[in-house]
Structure 1
Amino acid sequence: MWHLLMVLLDLVKDRKSSTEKDFKRWQQKMLLYLTTLNLARFLQEDAPDLGENPDQQTVVAVDAWKHSDFLCKNYILNGLDNALYNVYSPMVNSKALWESLERKYKTEDAGSKKFVVGKFLDFKMVDSKTVISQVQEFQLILHDIHAEGMVLGESFQVAALIEKLSPTWKDFKNYLKHKRKEMTLEDLIVRLRIEEDNRQSEKKADNYHQEAKANVVEQVHKSGVDDIDVNTIMETRNAHFFEDVFPYKVAQERSSLERTSMD
């Protein structure tokens, strides 16, 4: 009895599923509920025929069948969203109601399959997001594909994920493709995580070296010339000496004069 109550509560929560992509889940829960009540057979049975001259026993059996079918049909209607109740309540019996729901929503399921397959084929990784976050998106698409009843082998999943890496991962893609040992999807995700961490570390190291290189400044002696300042780096192919500006020439001239007077 407790199990039956839990199934009923789940159906109440999932009422809108009959109008959305989760119809299959709602249908399975409803089928379990009706099976527990011994009413599932009315989803496939037609109403019995009384015939021209029915006896009392036949009349009682037909009335019992109609009563059970009435319960079955209304259990299904009660599990639908309120907006659909008036649409499907005119159905003559449980079988007609069940088949009508299947025709409508299983057709939509077929469209849903095409939509999911389209998402899988169009999915490509980009450099503006982290690889691991995009792997999670890819796994959600795989989950939707499996939920639609389409089975993809793990080897196919691994190969597809490798192909969907961005062009900047070209070398790593080639490395993965040439690995002889078969990888599971979980192994591949671990390798991608390690590679991404290594790339981020290398990028930080490169940035640090560039900043350090930019901070290295060659000290130039203060010459007294306005055009040559301290902390200025000058590069030229032809060297020019400023004998007329630097104090070295003055000192040299004084030295020459001293030597002349002494001589």
Structure 2
Amino acid sequence: MQSHLIVEKLEKFTGVNFKQWQQKIFFYLTTLSLARFLTETVPHVDEGDMDAHSVSGVQAWNHSDFLCRNYILNGMVDVLYNVYCKAKTVKELWESLDRKYKTEDVGAKKFMVAKFLDFKMIDLKTFMSQVQELQVILHDVHAEGMSLSKTFQVAAMIEKLPPSWVDFKNHLKYKRKEMTIEDLVVRLRIEEYNKISL
């Protein structure tokens, strides 16, 4: 009963954020001890070797494969369910989803890089909301498997400060001590508070 509740809490896959959905489904199947069926092929038993033990082994495998395949299918919106329900095994289903959506993730990576490079803070929007927006973009870049050094992230955030922050930006660029993103965010909050207080 508890495992049934977990699958109901998972958001249905709509065709976007595949990697995140796939990781959640994989975790769910792992908790049910079914994740191995994502990569296993149907066990082959020669007709001469058919005994009660091997037959029950194949039946158990087929049952687990059926459950696993349907947990995944039920984690999709109806339109995608109808497209993928024809897969005969969970391995076939999993590989089909992987081929379709991982290649689309390559495009997502390019989009994420462009979003990061194009991002510039402006004076018209609240400053900390822009800092948070940039942190989300950096998190998404990292989540896509692209790593940026901490030093690069700090330097990039400093470069993206709005035009009215030019003096503070120059001050930060020439600081000798290395900062983390967290240190920088604290410094920016203090500076924003000082600007508002004037």
The TM-score normalised by the length of structure 2 is 0.86
RMSD (Å), alpha carbons: 2.2
| 1:69 is aligned to 2:65 | yes
1:68 Cα offset (Å)? 2.4
Partner of 1:24: 19
| Residue from 12, 26, 43 that aligns with 1:15 | 12
Superposition pairs for residues 172-183 of structure 1, below 5 Å? Answer: 172-183=168-179
Identical residues among aligned pairs (%): 61
Partner of 1:48: 43
Confirm or deny: 8 A CA contact 1:7 1:29 kept in the other structure.
Answer: no
Which structure has the greater CA radius of gyration?
Answer: 1
Change (3 A) 1:64 1:168: closer
- Distance in 1, Cα, partners of 2:47 & 2:4: 43
Give CA deviations for 1:165-206 in whole Å, capped at 9, x if unaligned: 23333222221111112222233223333333444444xxxx
What secondary structure, in the 3-state scheme, does the structure 2 residue paired with 1:19 have?
Answer: coil
Superposition pairs for residues 1-263 of structure 1, below 5 Å? Answer: 2=2, 4-11=3-10, 14-16=11-13, 18-21=14-17, 23-57=18-52, 58-202=54-198
What secondary structure, in the 3-state scheme, does the structure 2 residue paired with 1:190 have?
Answer: helix
Q: Which runs of 5+ in 2 are unaligned?
A: none
Give CA deviations for 1:97-127 in whole Å, capped at 9, x if unaligned: 0100111111122211111111110011222
What secondary structure, in the 3-state scheme, does the structure 2 residue paired with 1:127 have?
Answer: coil
1:62 Cα offset (Å)? 2.6
Report which structure shows greater RCO (CA 8 Å, sep ≥6).
2
- Distance in 2, Cα, partners of 1:55 & 1:196: 76
What secondary structure, in the 3-state scheme, does the structure 1 residue paired with 2:147 have?
Answer: coil
**Letter of the aligned partner of 1:161 in structure 2?**
M
**Letter of the aligned partner of 2:59 in structure 1?**
D
What secondary structure, in the 3-state scheme, does the structure 2 residue paired with 1:79 have?
Answer: coil
What secondary structure, in the 3-state scheme, does the structure 1 residue paired with 2:74 have?
Answer: helix
Figure out how many residues of one structure are paired with residues of the other and give that number: 197
- Which sits farther off after the overlay, 31-40 or 82-91? 31-40
